[in-house]
Structure 1
Amino acid sequence: MNSSIGSQNPKSESSNIVTLNVGGELFQTTQQTLTLAGPNSILSNLFSSSNSNANIPFFDRDPQLFSIILSFLRTGNLLSKSKEFNLHDLIVESQFYGIEHLLINSLSNPSQFNPLNLQKSMLLPLNGRDIPSAISTTSIGSVHVAHGSKVTSFDWSLTRKSTILTQFVAIDSLLALSPDKAAAGATDFSGLQIIDLEKGFVKENLNWVNSTRSSSTVQAIGSSNEHLFTCFESGRRNSNAIVVYDLLGDFRPVIEIARNEIYGAEFDCTTIPATKLNWISSYNLLMASGSHSGPTGVLGSIKLWDVRSGNSIWEMKETVDCFADVSVSSSSSCMFKVGINSGEVFFLDLRKLTPESEWVCLGNRAKLINAKKEGLGCKVECNGSNVFVSKGGNLELWSEVLVNSSRSGENVVEDRVFKKTLMGRAKDMNGNRITNLRFGGNKMFVTRKDEQLIEVWKGSNEGL
């Protein structure tokens, strides 16, 4: 901040009106308004009791952009004329004044996510020729994309992009730990790497010591608020385990669970390594799922693990219509899958889970007979209580509807009703097969087979 000499007191004893000089233009506001900038902002700290007799503060910044900033502090919303300015310029100004956190909360708040109003709004380009293999997001809407041996990161506003070259030939698993840090692994390269995406170097290289002392490749990564979960498989593919690391400390291993040692013909679906790890926060349980394609079809296993004790508390063997993909909604206490043969959506109520629990079909039950891998490649991901399912290049939204307990009919199961909605406009549909679905801030990110671009879906009535 630069100061100029002036004669006017910014605050008199009888008023809290303050005056600022920004780029040669004078602005008047109140101390209460500037305090809304937060304790770490240079604006809220201008008029403390220690400098009450200071001269008019001078900022050598753009006054037009400051008018947007000041109006934003007054109302909590960006003026309509802010659309005339480049969003990146507004972000730079918000960083200078120390209020970027307020801008993030206004423009990328997860509470603003409206699944019924989403439509494809922009495309994010990648460097090079490699297509995305994995993507991961943060709660504020920044996104990391693995493509080939590279990771490209977009900030929360999607206006700033950076790309680093990793030590992997290709990356199969990626998990955002923060806007500038991620965990990455590969199925053909040993170790889990914690990468500083801003500086482009490996902070930690985590490995699993298996019984054969061979390499340990990564099959899946997940996390809770406290722990990082990684499913490793030995290079000889005869052993696997899930290692739980301390996410808040120095990534030290806390416990090893789900260890399998495979000898000869003893292989069955219970020894399949997990290829997806979902943390169920409302139950403090880890869901681990994996499948394997063999001569008799696709077999799979889903287990729920108590990480504190290291014990499996529930298991389901998938032998008939195995999942093409499976996910959990912690807020609605449900597990969802897409059947690989039928292509239909199923659910399990976690509140009534027993060893005898069976999937409940939400779609066309008649398709369960003689179906032939209609669900191959389908994806299912939960965001809050909303369930998103990809069918080829199209997207379905499944939402629970509250009804009277006396109602009965199709898709009504023990008072739980799920309604299907097709997403997007006509021009958003029927593209290449969807390969990834992720959610961050108030946006949804989509990748498609053989396409280098990242689709960004957000509300049609949103501003910048």
Structure 2
Amino acid sequence: MADQNSNPALTYDRIKLNVGGKLFETTVSTLRSGGPDSLLAALSNRPFHRDSNPIFIDRDPEIFSVLLSLLRSNRLPSAALRRFSIQELTDEALFYGVESRLRSASSPSPLSGIDASIVDTVRPAADAVPSTFSAAEDGSLWIAHGGQISLYDSYLSYSTAVRTHLDDITSICRVWPDIAAIGSESSSGLHFYNLSSGHYTGSVHWTDPSDPRLYKARVSAVAHSPDLVFAAFDCPHKENGVIVIDKSTLQVSSELTRQSGTAAKNTVAGKLRWLPATGLVLGSTVTSGAFGYSGYIRIWDPRSKTIVWETNEPGSGRSSRFGDPFADVDVDIDDLTLFKICSKSGDLAMADLRSLGEDPWVYITDTNPSMRDTSYAGNSVVLHCYQRQVFVGKDGGLEVWSGEKGLNGTVSSRRQIPESQDQSHEVFLRRNYVDKVENAERGIIKRIEGGGERLFVSREDMEGIEVWESSHYSGAVSVS
């Protein structure tokens, strides 16, 4: 049998590297696991043998040690993100051509609200209290504070800040990957900015030459479809409407609705959602006064500019829980399910958007009676649907409602059909308090939004946005 050392052309499975003066020894298969197009794979293809001199790479040896551990185990060492920023790791991973492996290993686990916990707080460069924010499908984040927007990539690393001409920003919507539509409660108009270049691209104002009352209209909510932008405008004297804007021209194409604003059922929409499966637009608003909560939900067809369905609580809309109007509303666009949270009881109700009627609400019963919330005061409520989960912020507390997962991984719920058809069906879902007591004491929750496998939460008078993720070890049982 020939000796490997006697034949320098015969390759050896192990390879030595000298990175920044520090020696490493690993296997060819480990280096090639970074992908065929990576620098490390190219180095592993060089002819070498047992006595070959180490290959020298003039880079940081400490970060290379982290990346080598990543290639070996497909995980980042637990101390890596404490020693290095994600930007430092990303820069080195790009050099070696293993950035995709780093992204995969550093991405959060699939978001399970029941297992979610705070992993970070993203604070704008100016350490200001965020006025609003927007999360993207890749988990990146735009935070508005004052008249600025700070950008964070999918690693939540700070990218840049864009200064706008507004004094404050209270509405923000990603109408394209790099284009933000923004509005302010203190300035009129809807304004568009290219955040990758920092350039202002245009504005839209709600005007009507035949109606001089329409002036200085401010934006309260924004939504968009692939071709259109929908913006709710509110004039100083309360005349309001939802305006349809053509994305290609940034010009007003039509008015979806116009309301006088003289009553609760005619106030400006505080939320707008476009429903991709139907092409409809859902708007809702909630007002609170001495006599409690009141509000409306309306669904418009932007093609015919007609109301498809509406309800008012309290008011003309019938509800099996009359006297317990909703405090917030949101829609699961994947399941076409509308959710509301009741202002007095704190109960959650759902309605199938495909079969809406006079009273479509089905009230949800928790599968765990010990989790019933009997102390709800109805002071501040925020509702957000994301990835077939319903997140509810009640004052400072955060809870999640989710269905049971079947064998195929889909989320389902158990329905109890009552003997009397005059009673509402009950839907059984699992509810859990996401946060701990110390989390709830951080302040009143003002906004919840999902992005990628993360949940983002802002609180009243709190600097920064909380980042919630599920643990990589959520299935593990701790023994102490």
TM, length-normalised to structure 1:
0.76
Amino acid at match of 1:303: R
Match of 1:240 in 2: 241
Match of 2:454 in 1: 443
Match of 2:3 in 1: none
Q: 1:369-404 deviations in whole A, cap 9, x for unaligned?
A: xx9x94342100011111011111111111124466
Match of 1:136 in 2: 134
Residues 430/216 of structure 1: CA separation in 2 closer, same or farther (3 Å cut): same
Match of 2:278 among 278, 283, 286: 283
In 2, Cα distance between equivalents of 1:274 and 1:192: 15
Amino acid at match of 1:338: I
Residues 129/154 of structure 1: CA separation in 2 closer, same or farther (3 Å cut): closer
Mapping 1:16-415, distance limit 5 Å: 23=20, 34=32, 37=35, 59-69=57-67, 72=70, 76-80=74-78, 82=80, 85-88=83-86, 89-97=88-96, 99-108=98-107, 112-128=110-126, 130-160=128-158, 162-176=160-174, 181-210=179-208, 211-212=211-212, 214-246=215-247, 250=248, 252-253=250-251, 255-262=253-260, 267-292=262-287, 298-319=293-314, 321-354=324-357, 356-362=358-364, 374-401=377-404, 402=412, 414=425
Match of 1:7 in 2: none
2:131 counterpart SS class: strand
Match of 2:370 in 1: none
Residues 305/123 of structure 1: CA separation in 2 closer, same or farther (3 Å cut): same
2:91 counterpart SS class: helix
After TM superposition, give the deviation of residue 332 of structure 1 in Å.
Answer: 3.3
Gap runs ≥5 in structure 2: 1-8, 48-53, 316-323, 367-373, 405-411, 475-480
Give me the identity figure in percent.
28
User: Is contact 1:344–1:375 with CA below 8 Å preserved after alignment?
Assistant: no
After TM superposition, give the deviation of residue 433 of structure 1 in Å.
Answer: 1.2
2:428 pairs with 1:417: yes
Residues 435/385 of structure 1: CA separation in 2 closer, same or farther (3 Å cut): same
In 1, Cα distance between equivalents of 2:69 and 2:227: 39
User: Is contact 2:179–2:192 with CA below 8 Å preserved after alignment?
Assistant: yes
After TM superposition, give the deviation of residue 279 of structure 1 in Å.
Answer: 2.8
In 2, Cα distance between equivalents of 1:384 and 1:214: 39
Look at both structures and tell me which one has the larger radius of gyration over its CA atoms: 2
Amino acid at match of 2:465: I
After TM superposition, give the deviation of residue 103 of structure 1 in Å.
Answer: 3.1
User: Is contact 1:37–1:73 with CA below 8 Å preserved after alignment?
Assistant: no
2:76 counterpart SS class: coil
In 1, Cα distance between equivalents of 2:413 and 2:139: 33
Amino acid at match of 1:108: S
Amino acid at match of 1:132: P
In 1, Cα distance between equivalents of 2:232 and 2:226: 18
Match of 1:3 in 2: none
Q: 1:188-239 deviations in whole A, cap 9, x for unaligned?
A: 2122222233543323323333343523321101234554332223454324
| More off after superposition, 27-36 vs 99-108 | 27-36
In 1, Cα distance between equivalents of 2:231 and 2:388: 25
Residues 237/183 of structure 1: CA separation in 2 closer, same or farther (3 Å cut): same
Q: 1:325-349 deviations in whole A, cap 9, x for unaligned?
A: 2101123332112233444322222
Residues 60/128 of structure 1: CA separation in 2 closer, same or farther (3 Å cut): closer
User: Is contact 1:176–1:182 with CA below 8 Å preserved after alignment?
Assistant: yes
User: Is contact 2:204–2:251 with CA below 8 Å preserved after alignment?
Assistant: no
Match of 2:443 in 1: 432
In 1, Cα distance between equivalents of 2:55 and 2:206: 58
Q: 1:257-316 deviations in whole A, cap 9, x for unaligned?
A: 422153xxx844553322101233343332111234578764422122334444432211
User: Is contact 1:94–1:100 with CA below 8 Å preserved after alignment?
Assistant: yes
1:208 counterpart SS class: coil
Number of aligned pairs? 431
Amino acid at match of 2:134: S
User: Is contact 2:114–2:434 with CA below 8 Å preserved after alignment?
Assistant: yes
2:202 counterpart SS class: strand
In 2, Cα distance between equivalents of 1:303 and 1:146: 28
